[in-house]
Every structure is written in C-alpha cells, then in structure tokens.
A and B are shown apart, each in its own frame.
Chain A
Amino acid sequence: MNVVDWIVLLATGVGIAGYGAWRTRQVRSLNTYLRGKASTGWGTIGLSVMATQASAITYLSIPGQGFESGIGFVQNYFGLPLALIIVCAVFLPMYRRLNVYTAYQFLGERFDEKTRLLGAGLFLLQRGLATGVTIYAPAIIISTVLGWPLDPVIVVTGLLVIVYTVTGGSEAVALTHRWQMAVIAAGMLTAVILLIARLPEGLDFTGSVAAAGALGKLHAVDFSLDPSRRYTVWTGVFGGLFLSLSYFGTDQSQVQRYIGGASLREGRLGLMFNAVLKIPMQFVILMVGALLFVFYQVAPHPVFFNQAEWRRHAQDGRFRAIEAEHAQALAQSQSAMRAWVQARASDDAAREASARAAMVAASDRALAIRGEARAALLAADPRAKTKDSDYVFITFIVTQLPHGAIGLLVAVMFAAALSSKASELAALGTTTTIDFWRHFRPLAAADEARNMRVARRFTALWGIFAVAFALFAGFAENLIEAINILGSIFYGVLLGLFLVAFFLRHVGGSAVFVAALAAQTLVIVMYFSLNIGYLWYNLIGCAACIVLSLALQPFLPRRAP
C-alpha cells in the first residue's frame, strides 16, 4: 500500500464513519435512535439489509469459494427470495402493527413476558458471542496479507464502529450503510473490470468463461437428490429457506433494518429489493473466484496462498521440493492454456477437445500439488491452518491491482466489516435496553432521555466486549467454529418460537415456553451425544419446538396466570 492507497482507505473508512457520527450527532428521539428516521425510504432500507448480511468475510471468502469449489455455492441462496416473501407477507406487517422496537417484543405481545425474555436471551447469547468474530475474521486475513499488526487493526475497526453506532444509533447505521455499499459496489466493479483486463492473453471474457467451465468451476445448479452432495438446488431451496427465514425474520440485527421506515411499503420494497438482487450479486462474486482460477492457470502464484502460514512451517527440503513441483506444474498449465486458446481459435473440434483434455490434466496436476502442500503443512504442525481459499482474492488485490485500486479494495473489506458490525451492535444494544433493562425497570420506560442514555451505554458495552473478544480470539482459533456451532444450536429454537407465534394461533405462552426449553435441552443433549452435522440442529430445534408446543398445549393454559 502506498500513499494513494492510504488516502483512499482513510477517506472511505474513517470518512464514512466520521460523516455518520457527525450527521446523526443531534439524534434525541428514542424512536429515531432505535428504528432510524421515520422518513427512511425503501432504497436505504434495502441497502441496509444487504450491508448487514454481507460482512467482510463475504467478500474475502466467496471469491475463494468460487476459486476452490466453483460457483455451485450460489444455490445456497435459493431459499432467500422465498423467505423474504414470507417475511414481507407475515412477519413485517405484524411487527409494524404492534409498533415494536424488537422482534422479541412481539413474542411478549403474542405470548407472555417469560417467552419474550427467552427469545431475547437466545438472541443475545448467540449474537453476543458471535459479535467478536465479525471483527476478528477479516482482521486476521487483512493483517496477515498486508503485514499489519493484528491488534491495532481490531481496535481501530472496533472504535470506528462504536463511535458512530453509539452516537447516532439506527439512523447512523442506515446512513453509513448507503455510503459503505457504494464503496463496496465501486470496489467490486473495479476488481471485476481489472480481473477481466488481466485474463490470459488471447482469451476474451467469453473464452475465459469457457475455460472456467472446462476446468469444472461453472456447475451452477445441481438437481441431484444425492444427500451426500453439499450444494444442490434442493438443499438451497429448503435449507436456505429455513436459514433465511430465521435470519431475516427473527434476528434483531436484520429486523431492526426494515422495521422502521416511512411505511410498511418502504420496508416491504426494501426486502423485495434484496430478494431480486441477492442471487445475481452472489453469482457475480462467485464468478470472480472462478475467473481467478483461470487467471492463476497462467499467472505466477504461490503454492499456498496464506504465505505467512506457509513461511511459518515450510522450513525443510520437502517444502522446497513441493515449491519446485508447483513451478513446473504452473509452466505446464501455462503452455496447456496457450495450446487450448490456439486450438479453440482453429475451429478444429478434435484438436480443441484434445487441447482441452490436456489443459484439464495440467490443472488437476497443479491441484494435486496444492493438496500435497496442505498435507505437508499438517504433517509439520497438526494445528496448521490449511484452508487458504480466503486468501486468494486478497492476494490478487495486493499483487495484481494498481495503487489506488488496492486502497479501494481494502476499503471494501473494512466497509463491509463496519457495516455488519454496526447492525449487530445496534441490535444488541436495543434488545438489551428494550427487552431486559426496561423489563426490570418498567417505570423508566416513559423517560425517553434516560432510555437513550441506557441504549447508548449498552451499545458501547457490546462494542467493547466485541473488541475484547476479537483481541483474545487469536488465542483460541477454534472458537470461531465453536461459535458457529453455538449459533446453530440456538437459532432453530428461536425460529420455532416465531413460527408457533405466527402460524399456530391456538398455542399459548406456557406451552411454547416449556416446549422451547425442552427443545433446547434436546438439542444440547443431542449435540453432546450424537455426531451429526451441526447445521441439522437448526432444523431439529425448530421442529422440536413446534411439535412439543402442539403436544403440550392441551395440558397447559394459553396465558400464564
């Protein structure tokens, strides 16, 4: 990074955060602080929902996913438009009719206070523990590649987001989201244009897409019913519907983005904006990864993209031999690609097929050497981080892009980190204030100024907790996966509570409360006694909560006395 990159990074990162804090410094209304400006339109709501969902790790990992496994991951988003239609038709009108600040207030209105506290508690537990990861995960990748010390990256990112979120609350979050999404769109567009411009000589865009297809990266949809396949249309539609419904319908960090606004229409159109754009957007980001795969068939690159990890372990002759093999394989890939380009231009189908087979064989050999590199790392240190796909796109950015564009793309990562973090902090502060503090201080509810002060303090406390957690996460790398598991353990029951609330009108608070506790216990017991993929606990928790609610309802009163 040179001076130009730093100017671009600071102007966008610090500039947007400072602008957000300055523009919203006068917020005095609790409603504006917690739900945003009453005049917010659908465009701002739509961008805010999109910015909340797409964290920095999205822009780092998803191109890596396209590079490593192809674009089939796009199917994971197939349930999202369907879930957003259900949220628009069922969840949002109810939230607005009850004029709630949090989704969990709705549980209180529909059932009782204990169920509301249970829902809010499950959200705080899950989102509160995950909150440090949204800062830590991108910070570790960016600091590793750019050679920056990790702790200052975490602290500066955390402080920026705390300042404007605490100052302007939901209004500042929505305002900064607009500008952050503009930076992200400009940066990703720049990256796509520069990547296409740097594709192998003789290959136009269509040729590069054809090469990516020949190399097995463009299998976008898979209608297979084989349950062992990770990404299919069916897992995307059904699993994605389920996950998106819990995320968009019951997670306060999303609910808070669309619950305010000028009218129900604005919230609905904001969500429909996401329903229309999300799959094409993810497709483009995955295509960046697939085209990077073609690019690196020819362009020099390391055998393992996380170079810091490689240098840490790759000390002896075995690793030098792997590097030499990789250099040879790269030379073969380059000549095979050139031969395929010439064969493709010759209009000789047999020659093209033969050249294509040679290109695929050369690519497979290079992949096998990357596999050897990972195995060697593991042999040197069983705790070595062998997943390097998250480092592919950032490596391309810092080694291939011109100055200015590097600063812009690093700004994209920071903008994405700040935007998702801000929504989380606002949601955690709001839920703690409205669902817990007010519950135990009911007389203080009328004092708007005091509510504002308390909401600001809770938001700041969650921010400090997130930074502290991110600073210590480095001592326990596997915490990240543990938190993902924790999320799956609690998300299912939370969705179950809301589905019972919306669709099973005859079930009362006592039945659903006992059912949720029993379902949660069941999930925890199953987690410690069975060995199944943790994503299944989302489904198990939700289904158990619904079935037990129905079973218990005949024996329990509809509302606690």
Chain B
Amino acid sequence: MTSAPRPDRRPEAEPPDVPGFDTWRAVYLFVFGWFVLIVVLLTVFTAMFA
C-alpha cells in the first residue's frame, strides 16, 4: 500500500488564488493565449487597415 502524496508546501505550490485559475500553469496558459490573441488581432488589424 502506498501512502497518499503529501501536499507540496514549497512556496512554488502557493496557489494563484485568482478566480477561475487553480494552478499557475493555468495562469501562464491564459497569458500565453492572450499573447496569441493579441498577435491574431494585430494581424487582422494589419489586413484591414494597412
């Protein structure tokens, strides 16, 4: 029988405590997605106006 994993008490394990985000990985993915969205919007902007 294996013991249940102990909760990680390192500071890195500190949750982001941001509504909708349980882990830092999710926060980073959101920021990366935001960056991709901005590049897409700027590309559309360029196609529309340049």
User: Contact residues of A with B, CB < 8 Å?
Assistant: 74, 78, 81-82, 84-85, 88-89, 93, 96-97, 209-210, 212-213, 216, 218-221, 233, 263-265, 268-269, 272, 275-276, 279-280, 283
A277 shortest CB reach to chain B, Å:
10
B13 shortest CB reach to chain A, Å:
10
Can you list 13 A-B contacts (CB < 8 A)?
Answer: A81-B32, A85-B28, A85-B31, A97-B10, A97-B11, A212-B49, A213-B50, A219-B46, A220-B46, A263-B11, A268-B24, A269-B16, A276-B31
Interface string of B25-50 (1 = CB under 8 A from A): 00110011011001100110110111
**Are B14 and A221 in contact (CB-based, < 8 A)?**
no
**Are B35 and A265 in contact (CB-based, < 8 A)?**
no
B8 proximal to A (CB < 8 A): no
A203 shortest CB reach to chain B, Å:
14
**Are B31 and A220 in contact (CB-based, < 8 A)?**
no
Residues of chain B with a CB closer than 8 A to A221's CB: 39, 42-43, 46
User: Contact residues of B with A, CB < 8 Å?
Assistant: 10-12, 14-18, 24, 27-28, 31-32, 34-35, 38-39, 42-43, 45-46, 48-50
**Are B12 and A264 in contact (CB-based, < 8 A)?**
yes
B41 shortest CB reach to chain A, Å:
9
B37 shortest CB reach to chain A, Å:
10
Q: Give Cα distance in the complex from A414 to B4, angstroms.
A: 58
Contact A279/B46 with A93-B12, A269-B18 known, Cβ cut-off 8 Å: no
**Are A82 and B32 in contact (CB-based, < 8 A)?**
yes
B8 shortest CB reach to chain A, Å:
12
Name the residue of chain A whose CB is nearest to the CB of B35.
A81
**Are B14 and A264 in contact (CB-based, < 8 A)?**
yes
Residues of chain B with a CB closer than 8 A to A210's CB: 49
Residues of chain B with a CB closer than 8 A to A276's CB: 31, 34
Residues of chain B with a CB closer than 8 A to A85's CB: 28, 31-32
Contact A218/B46 with A89-B24, A272-B27 known, Cβ cut-off 8 Å: yes
A169 shortest CB reach to chain B, Å:
24
Q: Give Cα distance in the complex from A275 to B24, angstroms.
A: 14
A80 shortest CB reach to chain B, Å:
9
**Are B14 and A220 in contact (CB-based, < 8 A)?**
no
**Are A213 and B16 in contact (CB-based, < 8 A)?**
no
Q: Give Cα distance in the complex from A213 to B27, angstroms.
A: 35
Q: Give Cα distance in the complex from A221 to B48, angstroms.
A: 12
A384 shortest CB reach to chain B, Å:
33
Residues of chain A with a CB closer than 8 A to B12's CB: 93, 264
List 8 tightest A-B contacts by C-beta distance, closest first: A213-B49, A220-B42, A219-B50, A218-B49, A81-B35, A93-B12, A220-B46, A264-B11
Residues of chain B with a CB closer than 8 A to A233's CB: 39
A492 shortest CB reach to chain B, Å:
25
**Are A265 and B39 in contact (CB-based, < 8 A)?**
no
**Are A272 and B31 in contact (CB-based, < 8 A)?**
yes
Name the residue of chain B whose CB is nearest to the CB of A275.
B31
Contact A88/B46 with A233-B39, A263-B14, A269-B18 known, Cβ cut-off 8 Å: no
**Are B42 and A88 in contact (CB-based, < 8 A)?**
no
**Are A218 and B31 in contact (CB-based, < 8 A)?**
no
Residues of chain A with a CB closer than 8 A to B46's CB: 218-221
Residues of chain A with a CB closer than 8 A to B15's CB: 265
Q: Give Cα distance in the complex from A93 to B24, angstroms.
A: 12
B11 shortest CB reach to chain A, Å:
5
**Are A74 and B17 in contact (CB-based, < 8 A)?**
no
**Are A220 and B45 in contact (CB-based, < 8 A)?**
yes
**Are B49 and A88 in contact (CB-based, < 8 A)?**
no
Contact A88/B45 with A213-B50, A264-B14, A272-B31 known, Cβ cut-off 8 Å: no
**Are A268 and B43 in contact (CB-based, < 8 A)?**
no
**Are A265 and B49 in contact (CB-based, < 8 A)?**
no
Q: Give Cα distance in the complex from A218 to B44, angstroms.
A: 11
Q: Give Cα distance in the complex from A85 to B34, angstroms.
A: 12
Name the residue of chain B whose CB is nearest to the CB of A211.
B49
**Are A89 and B39 in contact (CB-based, < 8 A)?**
no
Q: Give Cα distance in the complex from A85 to B36, angstroms.
A: 14
Residues of chain A with a CB closer than 8 A to B17's CB: 265
Q: Give Cα distance in the complex from A233 to B46, angstroms.
A: 13
Name the residue of chain B whose CB is nearest to the CB of A290.
B49
Residues of chain A with a CB closer than 8 A to B16's CB: 265, 268-269
A96 shortest CB reach to chain B, Å:
6
B45 shortest CB reach to chain A, Å:
6
Residues of chain A with a CB closer than 8 A to B14's CB: 263-265
B23 shortest CB reach to chain A, Å:
11
B33 shortest CB reach to chain A, Å:
10
Residues of chain A with a CB closer than 8 A to B10's CB: 97
Residues of chain A with a CB closer than 8 A to B28's CB: 85, 88-89
Instruction: Please give 10 more A-B residue pairs, beta carbons under 8 A apart, in addition to A84-B31, A85-B32, A97-B10.
Output: A78-B39, A89-B24, A93-B12, A97-B11, A213-B49, A218-B50, A220-B45, A263-B14, A275-B31, A279-B35
